[in-house]
Structure formats: structure tokens, C-alpha cells
Amino acid sequence: MPLDPSDLTAATAPLHRARSMPAGFYTDPAIFAAERQHLFLKHWFFLCRAETLPNPGDYRAFDNPGGPIVLVRGSDGVLRCFANYCRHRGSILLEGTGNIGGRIICPYHAWSYLNDGRLYGCPDMKDAEGFDKVENGLVTLDIDQWAGFVFARFTKDGPSLAEHLGDLPDRMASHRPEEMRHTWTCTLDVACNWKLILENAMETYHTGIVHRETVGAQTSRTLPTRGNWICIQVVSGRSIATLSDTVPPFDKIEGLDEDARMGTYFTVALPTMQFAVAQDCLWWLNCIPIAENRTRLEVGGCFPAARLDQPDFQIRAEPYYDRWERVAKEDVGILEKQQRALGSALYRPGPLSWRDDMVQALGVWVVDRLGL
């Protein structure tokens, strides 16, 4: 066992006497390997919004701790997710994003696949004994959607996406996320463990300090959840998706329920996805773990579809994009300092504040699933 049991006991104690997780939780390759096995290969993870691949043949390739994968819309209009490798000798098939028309052609020896994953062409395979084209289509992953958010997973069994998300869709229902459209992305390579990003995103203890030049001090309340997600709400009658020196350029979403009107929900759809849902928009922090000390962070932003029809949409959206990027970079700055400190031979877990309740909750959820 790579972590000291007494450290784990202290980290999972009642909050008023709990300590933070031991350094190895964030720095040990053995813990990262266990997370890959028990979290990343087992649970649903977010890919993208469905509307970003509208046409047959549209595709997007993704890096993932389980290996490269690709999402493709078939000629029948159905989105499918495949392991992004050729069944001959394993070249990557597709990079980036684009449209492959009806066929995926391997760049190595030109085997070709239909856009629904079936093997189509395979030159010079006539003599291969027992070779069956039907058995050599692309390897598929399960996918599912909530309100246009496409998720996939490597395992074939386990709870459905709806069961996994529990009452998250109910909490967000009055924002009508199914009517949101993805308009902006910023991708950052961060030299820290993925859990540090999400822990940070679930507490407002740091905001008055790290974000003193941008969003400033905030207060939050923790909301009860059912399913594999956690939630706080930053209480503010105005959207905090733009800075306080800007009047939010977009109207609030019509018909928000009473709780939703009170502020912005910050959530983690466990293990790796934050939805932040304000009164006028939503954005996400999608963490793609690369190694114990490296994470790709994708920040994405969405607005209600009707806003995109406003003639000055781009100008109005700019302050949101600016805020999302600036605040994310401020967080990255402090998180990389934290990761460096966790490498100290003299590191000892510190005491938690009542404001760290969701920091602890995230760690406990991971510990429970790793069987530590």
C-alpha cells in the first residue's frame, strides 16, 4: 500500500479534525495507476457537446488515460465512439477534428472502415487464414448523453449515465442545458495532479486571494446530491461568469427555479468533470489526466442557443471568455506551486477548514473507489 493508513484515517476523519490527503495521493505513480484501473477505465467521462459534430462523417479525436479514442457521426446520423487505432497493426487512425466523409482510411497500409466502424477495405489479405472482415471492425466504447453532453466509458458494465449522474440533471433542469450551445474552448497543459484542479474548483476559500484581481472573494453553500456528483453554490444574485466591473451582457435564462436564481452551481460530475452553471450560461472544466503530475485542462463555454442569434453575440460573449481564461490561469498558477510543494520530502498533511468540505468529499470518494 503506497499511502500510510494513519494518513488516510486523518484525511477521512470528521471535517473539524480532518487533515488533507498525504502527498502520495497526488504524486505517486502507483496511485495514478490505481486511479486508471478503478476510476478512468470504469466510470463515464465527458467528451464534448453533441452539436459540435452535426454532420455525417464529422469526427473528433481525444486523448484519454484509457488510450486514444475518436467520436464519429455515422451516415445514419448516430454518434459512435471507437478506440482510435487500426485493427491491422495499430496505427492511430484520426487526429484532431474534421470530416472523413463515408470512410476512415488508415494512414499506414490503407485499410478502410465505414463511418459506423465496420471494416470495408483491406488490401492483400486474401491469404490470411481465418481472417474475417466482420470481426475486424473498430473497437467500440459505450456512449450516452445527458442534455447534449456526450459521455463515454471503457467498460461495458456498470450503472447507466443517468444512474451515475443521479439528481444532477434535476438540479440543472431549469437552465435547460439541452438548449445550450458550445461556443468557446481553452485548453491548458497543467503541471499538477488532476484532483488538485477539481478540489480547487470546489472551494471559495482561495478566491479572495488567488483571484483578487478578477472574481474576488466569494461565499458558497454546499448542496446535497444523490449520485456520483458533488455541488456547491456560489451565492450571488448576478451571474459571476463575467467580472464584477462588467454588467453581465446576456440576460438571465428565463424560468430559472428559485435555487438556480440564487447563484452559480459548481459541481464535479465524478471523477473528472466540472460543470459550472450560472444564471446566464454554463462552462466546464474537463480534466484529462495524463500522469500523476500532468493534466490537460479543457475549459469550455456554452450559451443558450437563442443568444447565438443576437447580432452582437460575439462582442457580448467576449467578457465571459476573458473571465474564464483569466481565472483558469490564475488557478493553474497556484496549483502548479501546490504540486511542487507536494514533492517535498518534508511534506506533512495540513489541517482543513470548514470551507474545505468538498475538497475532503472529493478525496474520500476517490479513496473509497481505490479500496485504499
- Candidates 69, 100, 106, 240: give the one binding ligand FES (CB under 6 A): 106
Task: Closer to Fe ion by CB, 292 or 331: give it.
Answer: 331
Q: Does 199 participate in binding Fe ion (rule CB under 5 A)?
A: no
DSSP 146: E
Task: Closer to ligand FES by CB, 138 or 196: give it.
Answer: 138
Q: Does 86 participate in binding ligand FES (rule CB under 6 A)?
A: yes
Task: Closer to Fe ion by CB, 21 or 215: give it.
Answer: 215
Task: Closer to ligand FES by CB, 73 or 87: give it.
Answer: 87
Task: Kindly identify the residues of this chain, within the stretch 301-360, that bind Fe ion according to CB under 5 A.
Answer: 331
Task: Closer to Fe ion by CB, 93 or 197: give it.
Answer: 197
**Peptide linkage before 107 cis (omega within 30 of 0):** no
Work out how close the CB of 98 gets to ligand FES at its nearest, in angstroms, rounded to a whole number: 19
Q: Does 292 participate in binding Fe ion (rule CB under 5 A)?
A: no
CA-to-CA separations, 6 to 19, 22, 34, 293, in angstroms, rounded: 11, 10, 20, 24
Q: Does 203 participate in binding Fe ion (rule CB under 5 A)?
A: no
Instruction: Of 21, 65, 322, give the one whose Cα is nearest residue 199.
Output: 21
Task: Closer to ligand FES by CB, 103 or 109: give it.
Answer: 109
> Each residue of 198-211: b (16+ CB within 10 Å) or e?
bbbbbbbbebeebb
Q: Does 108 participate in binding ligand FES (rule CB under 6 A)?
A: yes
Task: Closer to Fe ion by CB, 145 or 222: give it.
Answer: 222
Task: Closer to ligand FES by CB, 111 or 266: give it.
Answer: 111
- Candidates 33, 37, 78, 89: give the one binding ligand FES (CB under 6 A): 89
| Number of alpha carbons in the 13 Å side-chain half-sphere of residue 58 | 13
Work out how close the CB of 211 gets to Fe ion at its nearest, in angstroms, rounded to a whole number: 6
Chosen from Fe ion, ligand FES, none, partner binding at 331 (C-beta under 5 to 8 Å by type): Fe ion
Distance (Å, whole) CA 247 – CA 244: 7
- Candidates 46, 111, 146, 229: give the one binding ligand FES (CB under 6 A): 111
Instruction: Of 179, 169, 305, give the one whose Cα is nearest residue 250.
Output: 305
Q: Does 91 participate in binding ligand FES (rule CB under 6 A)?
A: yes
| Grid coordinates of 143 | 456512449
Q: Does 298 participate in binding Fe ion (rule CB under 5 A)?
A: no
Contact yes or no for 198/299 (Cβ under 8 A): no
Cβ neighbours of residue 282 under 8 Å, at least 6 residues apart? 175, 177, 180, 275, 276, 301, 302
Contact yes or no for 248/323 (Cβ under 8 A): no
Task: Closer to Fe ion by CB, 39 or 342: give it.
Answer: 342
**Residue recorded with cell 487512425:** 93
Distance (Å, whole) CA 168 – CA 163: 10
Q: Does 88 participate in binding ligand FES (rule CB under 6 A)?
A: yes
Query: Which of the stretches 101-109, 267-275, 303-311, 328-336 binds ligand FES when contact is defined by CB under 6 A?
Result: 101-109
Chosen from Fe ion, ligand FES, none, partner binding at 86 (C-beta under 5 to 8 Å by type): ligand FES
Work out how close the CB of 172 gets to ligand FES at its nearest, in angstroms, rounded to a whole number: 42
Q: Does 83 participate in binding ligand FES (rule CB under 6 A)?
A: no
Contact yes or no for 253/305 (Cβ under 8 A): no
Distance (Å, whole) CA 228 – CA 342: 27
Size of the site for ligand FES (CB under 6 A): 10
Distance (Å, whole) CA 78 – CA 320: 32
Give the per-residue contact string, 43-72, with ligand FES (x = CB under 6 A; - = no). Answer: ------------------------------
Instruction: Of 339, 333, 347, give the one whose Cα is nearest residue 290.
Output: 339
H or E stretch covering 365 = helix 357-370
Task: Kindly identify the residues of this chain, within the stretch 156-215, that bind ligand FES according to CB under 6 A.
Answer: none
Residue ranges that bind ligand FES, judged by CB under 6 A: 86, 88-91, 106, 108-111
Residue ranges that bind Fe ion, judged by CB under 5 A: 331
